Each structure stands twice: as structure tokens, then as C-alpha cells.
Amino acid sequence: MTTDRPLRADAARNRASLLAAATAEFAERGFDASVADIARRAGIGKGTVFRHFPTKDDLLAAVVLDRIDGLAALARELIEAPSPGPALRQLMEAAAGQQRQLDLSFLREAGGVNARLDDARTDLFASITALVERAQAAGAIRPDISGLDVILLMCAPNYVVSYVPDPAPDLWRRYLAIIFDGLSPDGAGPLPA
Amino acid sequence: MTTDRPLRADAARNRASLLAAATAEFAERGFDASVADIARRAGIGKGTVFRHFPTKDDLLAAVVLDRIDGLAALARELIEAPSPGPALRQLMEAAAGQQRQLDLSFLREAGGVNARLDDARTDLFASITALVERAQAAGAIRPDISGLDVILLMCAPNYVVSYVPDPAPDLWRRYLAIIFDGLSPDGAGPLPA
DNA sequence: AGCTAAACGGACCGGGCGGTCAACTTGTTA
DNA sequence: TAACAAGTTGACCGCCCGGTCCGTTTAGCT
């Protein structure tokens, strides 16, 4: 299908700065950031953006993709960690700390726009599930928690913080700490649903 | 300023169905729901919408207002409740259960668009703070929690659930339970920030 | 019933968006 | 260095949105 001819030098450069600009802009303004603004920030023309990514959605997918890849890589490492409880927490901190506003959007079905994205998500999901199971075996977290629970909850601090007027840059740690405590095995009663 | 002449009968009817339609539409599609769609759903013309609310923001404010008023009323009641811990939880459940997607947006400065909204928010905040303090005095939740923490966290379940493909209608209870457990006094170590 | 002002509604406007295109520039290769 | 393909660009298109306006309808009063 795609003949993988190597990218021309300037094209590669533009692609990189485009990705950086998109990451920043999406982080600051959310998905509503306009393509024109992103292009301006990257110092390239709007047309060039669409040459690299046929659609704004594809651009977002690319941005989100390497976040997920990074997280998945970390998760894979952490599976081997000696103490699974702290390892799980470390992963959640990495997730909450690095992303800002991108949030949970990557959970949406990519609709085949980007098959790589679907793979990465599946991969991340598998690693997190393994991590969770190890943490449960070690008695670090309650047994009725799933990998999905963790994925969902690790994004909550960012969401919550995004609504406080002048958030301290690491305020998210506060809410992550509370949520992580909620995962501990001495909680009251079984979880609904 | 505003001479409070009583509303004409049809105008009152329209205003009511407009509010209902706006509530539903905002809940389903978020703030991006178009005014035209809301008008159509209410069975009125678009111009009529702007007659009742000069701006889309004002319409949202009105919708949000009675959510907050309702919550504030409940909070005020619950302050007198015999067991403050469950009372606080009940409030958080009411907040998480009734709203869908409106989320935390009401925390944004209304910018004077609607002074009533600011008042209601302040009122809710005060009642929740009182509730929290009583719960702390009873040893039901950890002492380093603020009213703001509770407001933020009680909206998280809804956010989180909105990203799962086919959520059970009360899946939010699951995440609220986890979060509420995180508020309990036997958490590990002091909270950051 | 008849009158008036309140209320209605939809064509219309300006602006911003995602996406396209054809003329132009530039890296690459022989 | 010549020539071509790959890459760039910004003007442009169509669409949709929030908001306006004015001709029309209608509730309420006498």
C-alpha cells in the first residue's frame, strides 16, 4: 500500500516541529485548537499540515499515539518491578503528570483512522492489567479492580485540576494520592457494578 | 433595573420547554450543542431562544443554576444530619448521579454574566465546607480535605464514565465508591499540596 | 370585538473553521 | 548543474455557528 520512501529532509524537520506545536497547542486549548494556530506555531503553512496528516483527527491521533507508546513502554518495564504496588502508582503518576488536557480522549474508538493507535491502546491495556494483577497478588490494592478502572482513574486528576483557577503545577498529585488510597484493599465493602 | 412584569402565558411555557431541551441537549452533547438544535428540540424558533437568554452562555448558566441550587439545598439540609460521614457521601452521590456531562464547568468564573450563579456557587461551597468539617469532626474523613476537594472529586465519576463505551447507567457509583474510600482517615501519609 | 404590546420565528449576517488546490520552491539524484 | 519529483504555501471554498432583525402572530385587557 504505502511505499515507504524516506522523507525529504525539510519535510522531516517540518513534521517534527508540527508534532511539537500540535502537542503544545492541544495541551493548552484542548481539541478545539485550530489547525491554523498549530501551523502558525510550528512556523509552517496550513496546507503543509494537511499534507502530513490528511485530517485534524489524524494529527491528534499522532500526538496521542506517542503519549500512549511512552506510557506502554513504561508499563512494560514496571511489570518486572520488585514491588508491584509502588510500580502501579508510578505508572499512574507518569500518566497524570505528563499529559495535560489530552485526557481520556484516546479511549474513543479510533474508528480505524489509525490502526497503530488501536494497537498501542491494546498494548497499554494489557500491560496495565498485568501490573494490576501483580499488585493484587501482592495485596497492594483491592482485588475487585480492573485495568480499565486504573486507566480511567489515572486520568481523573488532570481533569479535576483543569477546573481550578490557578492550579499549582503539581496539584494533580494531591488528587492522585486520594484516588490511589481509594484503591487500597482496606476499603469499605465491595465495589458496585 | 428590570421591571418585573409577569411573563405572558405562552412565553412562560416556551421558556420552560426551552430550559428542558437545553438541559437535555447539553447533557447529551456537551456545551457544543448548537442553539439551533436546542430550539428545534424545544419546538420553538431560534430567535425565541435569544429573546429569553441574550447569549448561549446565559442559557447554559440558567441550566447549571438550578442544578447548583438543588445541590445547595440538599447540602443545607444534610448539615443537620445525625451522621455526617454518610451525609457527605449522600451529597456526593446526588452530585454525581444527577448531572451528566455538565461536569465541573460551573466552576468557571461566570464573569458576572449571571450574578445569581456566583451566589449559588458560593452558597453551595459554604454548605459543603460545613459538611466536610462536621464529617472531619466525626472522624469520618481525613482532616486534610477541603470543600473544594470534595466539589472537584464528586464530579470526577461522571467524567470518567463518559469515556467508557457502553456504561451501565450507574457505573458512576463504582468510581464514587473508590474516591470516597480515598477520603477516609486511614489513608497513607499526608496529602501533597 | 378590537387594540396594543409582548412574543415569536426564520431569513439573514459576519466570522471562523476544516479542508482543497494550483502555482511556486527546494531537496535530491544522476 | 540540470531536471524532476517532493514539498510548501496561502488564497480560496463550503459549511456551520452564534447572534440580529423585522414582519407576523397572539395573549391579555377593556
pLDDT for the residue A1: 46
Rounded mean pLDDT, B6-17 = 96
pLDDT for the residue A109: 57
Q: Which residues contact A122 (CB under 8 A, 6 or more apart)?
A: none
What is the radius of gyration, based on Cα positions, of chain A?
A: 19
Helix axes A84-98, A147-161, angle to 10 degrees: 40
Residue with cell 433595573: B1
Rounded mean pLDDT, A27-52 = 96
Distance CA B91, CA B70 (A): 11
Distance CA A66, CA A77 (A): 16
Distance CA B154, CA B92 (A): 5
Residue with cell 458576572: B112
Rounded mean pLDDT, A10-30 = 96
Q: Which nucleotide has the least CA–C1' distance to A48?
A: D8
Ranked by mean pLDDT, the top range of A117-121, A182-186, B62-66, B101-105 is A182-186
pLDDT for the residue B189: 73
pLDDT for the residue B117: 86
Rounded mean pLDDT, A109-117 = 67
Distance CA A136, CA A145 (A): 9
Report the 10 Å Cβ neighbour count for A80. Answer: 9
Residue A83 to residues A89, A128, A138: CA-CA distances in angstroms? 10, 15, 8
Contacts of B192 in chain A (CB under 8 A): 170, 173-174, 177
**CA quadruple B119, B123, B124, B126: dihedral sign:** positive
Chain A with chain B: Cβ pairs closer than 8 A: 110
The CATH classification number of B8-52 equals 1.10.10
Whole-number Å distance, CA A64 to C1' D16? 27
Average model confidence (pLDDT) across chain B: 90
Residues from A in contact with B at Cβ < 8 Å: 104-105, 107-109, 148-149, 152-153, 155-156, 159-161, 163-165, 168, 170-171, 173-175, 177-184, 186-189, 191-193
Say whether the CB atom of A113 is under 7 angstroms from strand C: no
Burial class (CB in 10 A: 0-12, 13-18, 19+), B94: middle
Interchain pair A182, B178: CB under 8 A: yes
The CATH classification number of A55-182 equals 1.10.357.10
Distance CA B189, CA B30 (A): 38
Helix-strand-coil percent breakdown of chain A, rounded to 5? 70, 0, 30
Q: Which residue type occupies B108?
A: R
Q: Which nucleotide has the least CA–C1' distance to B50?
A: D19
The domains of chain A are located at 8-52, 55-182
